[in-house]
Amino acid sequence: MKKLLLTLALSLAASLCFAQGKNYVNERYEKLDKEEQFESIIKEIEENSQEPYSASDYFYLGLANFRMEKDEEAQKYFGMAIQEDPGFVRPYYYLAGSFLYTEKYEDAILNYEKCIELDKTFPGPYQMLGMIYETQNDYQKALENYSKSYELKKTPESTYQMAYILYKLDDYKKALPYIESYLEYDNDSFSMTNLMILALYSTGEYEKAAKYEKQIRKIWENTSDESIKKKPFFIIYSFTHNDYEIDVYEKFDQSGNFYYPLTCNVCSNGKVIKTVNLEYDAVTEKFGTAYFIGMDELEPKRHLTTNIGFSKFPSFPDFIELVKLAVDNELEIGSSSEPVTSQ
């Protein structure tokens, strides 16, 4: 799967084409590559050419081996293509991809940079460098490279990458136009609709976010994608408080006489230690209090209900302030319950 995703990313970027000083494209081998007949590429080169092969032949031998996940052979042939013609860009690009797959990140970076040195008009190397730096959590360098890729070729993928990396850099207002642009390509994108909700909550635009909350529920209801259908909730806001990482989410199923309209996962060192919830209770609503702040502690397992209640849905900023107080154990507990254990 990892190699498949990398190959798709490389192929998508490569389809945008390098400027070619020499035409090394072999239409026959390109056709076999698209048909995934990689062994046939190797066989035909060995039958129709003599060693030492041309830069083009070495490149296609490398490409065929790369597709078959034979990275050591691929790297050897890409290197030989470069030796034959140091100005041939494509071998550097796929050699970098092979290094990336084998987790030789510095070698991958050097070869992508060589691609850029030889051809600054091709967005692919910038895009791949952005992906490397993003996985290394160097979001500023990722942004620099994604920006160059986007300037050279505005595609749904480059738009998505700009939106996501700006969100990761907490630059929500700059992320919003890219999110809006991407949703023009794909209004039913679950991930980008969710990113729009996250960005709008982060900028305090709660009323505008409500439109996209309805949209993501519609996407979830109508999707045939099982990976989306299996999701029980979507995150609307993330923040940190006193070294705790907190994600606020809404469940898709909000029905019945008792449910949580909002839930916060409170994490310490990447582990959920408890949840803080806005809880709806149809029974207490009859007496004027429809919502309570409650908590579910995981160790030991018990449910706590605070003395904080509301007759109507509280404002989101007020809820967040109460979550912080709950995390700091500064809310008065009205009742608690523990799971019943058999004797």
Query: What pLDDT is recorded for position 24?
Result: 84
Query: What pLDDT is recorded for position 35?
Result: 97
Bridge partners of 251, per DSSP, are: 233
AA identity, residue 277: N
Query: What pLDDT is recorded for position 149?
Result: 97
What are the structural domains of the chain? 1-130 (1.25.40.10), 233-337 (no CATH)
Query: What pLDDT is recorded for position 336?
Result: 78
Query: What pLDDT is recorded for position 5?
Result: 47
Give the residue ranges of DSSP H helices in 38-171. Answer: 38-48, 55-67, 71-84, 89-101, 105-118, 124-135, 139-152, 156-168
CA–CA distance, 280 with 342 (Å, rounded to integer):
29
CA–CA distance, 299 with 301 (Å, rounded to integer):
5
pTM of the predicted structure, to 2 decimals: 0.88
Query: What pLDDT is recorded for position 14?
Result: 52
CA–CA distance, 244 with 52 (Å, rounded to integer):
61
Cβ–Cβ under 8 Å, residues 12 and 93? no
pLDDT tens for each residue of the chain, 343 residues long: 345 445 545 554 554 455 544 668 899 999 999 999 999 999 999 999 999 999 999 999 999 999 999 999 999 999 999 999 999 999 999 999 999 999 999 999 999 999 999 999 999 999 999 999 999 999 999 999 999 999 999 999 999 999 999 999 999 999 999 999 999 999 999 999 999 999 999 999 999 999 999 999 999 999 999 999 999 999 999 999 999 999 999 999 999 999 999 999 999 999 999 999 999 999 999 999 999 999 999 888 999 999 999 999 999 999 999 999 999 999 999 887 865 444 3
Query: What pLDDT is recorded for position 300?
Result: 85
Cβ–Cβ under 8 Å, residues 127 and 161? yes
CA–CA distance, 149 with 134 (Å, rounded to integer):
14
Cβ-proximal residues to 107 (8 Å cutoff; 6+ apart), any chain: 96, 99
- Long-range contacts of the stretch 38-45 (C-beta < 8 A, 24+): 38/64, 38/65, 38/67, 38/68, 39/64, 39/68
The burial class, CB within 10 Å (0-12 / 13-18 / 19+), for 161 is buried
Query: What pLDDT is recorded for position 337?
Result: 80
